[in-house]
Amino acid sequence: MSKFRIGRIGMAVLVVLGVMTAASDLLAQFQPPGTLGVLAPANLAKPRPKAPFDITGTWLHSRGESERFEPPAGFKLTPFGQKHYDAAAAATAAGKIYRNDIGLCWPAGVPIMMTRVWPIQMIQLPTSVFMISELMNSLRIVYMDGRKHTDPDIVVRSFNGESIGRWEGDALVIDTTNFVDEHHWIFDRGGIPATDALRVIERIRMQNEGKRLEIEYTLTDSKVFVGDWKFVKHWDRVDDRDIAEVECLPDLNDHMPTVHSSDNVRQ
Amino acid sequence: MKIFRLGGLVAIALCFVVTAFAHHSAAGVDTTKTVTHEGVVKIFKWANPHSYLEIEVQGKDGATETWNLEMMPPSYLVPAGWTSKTVKAGDKIKFSARPMKNGDPGGLFVSITLPDGKTLGQTAPRGGGAAPTAPAAPAAPR
């Protein structure tokens, strides 16, 4: 082969590769064949600005802070949201537990998984942040390599949602959408469901010389409530903890009287 | 600490019953009451996210009831002195628990007295958790 032909073939290959890796064409799911995943060495090696901080570590929601995502002052619900809210209030008044889906092993999903008593281990790479909660080993992958959210018409929806992250000044900003539409709650006991309209934006800053994370949450779910709900929560670094396998097994709950009791309102 | 020297009687590390723990609610539990029963261990399961005990208790009328006690995960039992072999099926024990409001035989585990007379509780998540519902002993050092 002449040098000239090799050069043209080489250029063609580069163009194809360039198109395939062009960030604006990439969706989080259903990538074209050959697209680089977040752990592909070539993706990891791409030149990127240095991250303002490294979130890698074991983190635990700060005790003494509410773990709940409760309606803030002045909240307004849609009729759909109000129906659940009122049913939950009636259940609570009767000493019952409203829609304890998590107790039945439905995943908590985002945001509830973020404030459990179980630690979350996080690993930060240039392309992504992996978050694994100890409870049910729920996994979030935050895509930081420029890909965009998947088309809502083809996305496979999930409890933890689809997270796209970027650095903005000193903050890690995560935009999560494409959630499931059922058995998913923002505040289960209080009757605030999460629907496929839920969007969660997290602005995460590191504090106290890397010992604390502050997370500012902004939640919108136009099927459930009007406007946006904001919360600020903190995590502490727990260097003396690792996570174990924690499954929610079908027969475990046979032995959990709180899950089985007739005090649970299922519908 | 003196409390740990009360030979065989009390080895409770912490008596918190953390009703807001983990992924489900204890709204169906009467956290104002503690019941105590004697029985025979049927099952002791050492597991995440919850360990549990099933204990056969003979009622006054002679009928047997199986009590279902929900416990903390092993990471909160080990500091309180537990191992997976602390109890086994067939052991005659005494237990205390926060009972179910609806009268079902079961509830949240508080403490157990073993055949050798030793009593064990369980610890609470770091930093506390729900308000204490039983007199607290100091936490075991971690």
Contacts of B61 (CB under 8 A, 6+ apart): none
Taking phi over 0 as left and psi of -120 to 50 as alpha, with beta for the rest, A227 belongs to left
Q: Residue A219: what pLDDT?
A: 98
Tell me which of A236, A259, A263 to substitute to probe the interface with B (most B C-beta atoms closer than 10 Å). A263
**Does the distance separating the beta carbons of B43 and A189 come in below 8 Å?**
no
Whether omega before B49 lies within 30 degrees of 0, making that bond cis, reads yes
Tokens of B3: 């409390």
Kindly list the structural domains of chain B, giving each domain's residue range(s) and its CATH number in brackets, ordered by start.
Answer: 8-120 (2.40.50.140)
Each domain of chain A, given as residue ranges in start order, spans 3-44, 57-265
DSSP A27-48: BSSSPPTTPPPTT-HHHHTS--
Closest Cα of chain A to B102: distance in Å? Answer: 8
Residues B48, A64: C-beta atoms closer than 8 Å: no
| Mean pLDDT, residues B53-79 | 92
Sequence-ordered alpha helix ranges (H) in A149-260: 257-260
The answer to whether A37 and A29 are in contact (CB under 8 A) is no
Which residues, in sequence order, are CB contacts of A237 under 8 Å at separation 6+?
A57, A58, A59, A210, A211, A212, A213
The candidate with the shortest Cα–Cα distance to B124, out of B54, B69, B75, B68, is B75
Q: What is the 3-state secondary structure of B48-111?
A: CCCCEEEEEEECCCCCEEEEEEECCCHHHHHHHCCCCCCCCCCCEEEEEEEEECCCCCEEEEEE
pLDDT tens track of chain A, all 267 residues?
A: 555 565 776 666 555 555 545 545 788 998 888 899 999 999 999 999 999 999 999 999 998 899 999 999 999 999 999 999 999 999 999 888 899 898 889 999 999 999 988 999 999 999 999 999 999 999 999 999 999 999 888 899 999 999 999 999 999 999 999 999 999 999 999 999 999 999 999 999 999 999 999 999 999 999 999 999 999 999 999 999 999 999 988 887 778 888 877 778 887
C-alpha span between A11 and A152 (Å, rounded): 35
B21: nearest Cα among B96, B127, B130, B100? B130
Indicate if the pLDDT at residue B140 is higher than 80: no
Closest residue to B127, CB basis, from A64, A92, A97: A64
Q: Which residues of chain B does A135 touch, with a Cβ-Cβ cutoff of 8 Å? A: 22-23, 49
User: Which residues in chain A are closer than 8 Å to B24, comparing Cβ atoms?
Assistant: 97, 100, 102-103, 256, 258-259
Contact A261, B100 (CB under 8 A): yes
From CA A132, how far away is CA A136, in angstroms rounded? 9
Chain B residue whose CA is closest to A107? B23
- Cα–Cα distance for residue pair B27/A111, rounded to 1 Å: 22
- A256 contacts B52? CB cut-off 8 A: yes
Beta-strand pair A162-168/A171-177:
antiparallel
Structure tokens at A65: 């802070």
β-strands A192-193, A162-168 pairing: unpaired
Residues B25-34: pLDDT tens digits? 777 899 999 9
Amino acid at A123: I
Task: Identify which of A97, A138, A94 has the alpha carbon closest to the alpha carbon of residue A115.
Answer: A138
Per-residue model confidence (pLDDT) at position B89: 97
pLDDT at residue B16, as a whole number? 39
Alpha-carbon separation of residue A101 from A16, A108, A193 (angstroms): 47, 8, 11
Which residue of B25, B48, B73 is in closest CB contact with A258?
Answer: B25
How confident is the model at residue B129, as a pLDDT? Answer: 37
User: Which of A67, A100, A257 is opposite residue B100, by nearest beta carbon?
Assistant: A257
Q: Where are the alpha helices (DSSP H) in chain A?
A: 3-21, 41-44, 79-93, 257-260
Between chains, do A97 and B24 touch, taking CB under 8 Å as contact? yes
| B8-12: long-range contacts, CB 8 A cutoff, minimum separation 24 | B8/B116, B8/B117, B8/B118, B9/B117, B9/B119, B10/B119, B10/B137, B11/B81, B11/B118, B11/B119, B11/B120, B12/B80, B12/B111, B12/B119, B12/B120, B12/B121, B12/B137
Nearest to A204 by CA among A116, A103, A131, A119: A131
- Label residue B54 by pLDDT band (50, 70, 90): very high
Q: What is the pTM of this model?
A: 0.80
Encoded tokens for B24: 């489900």
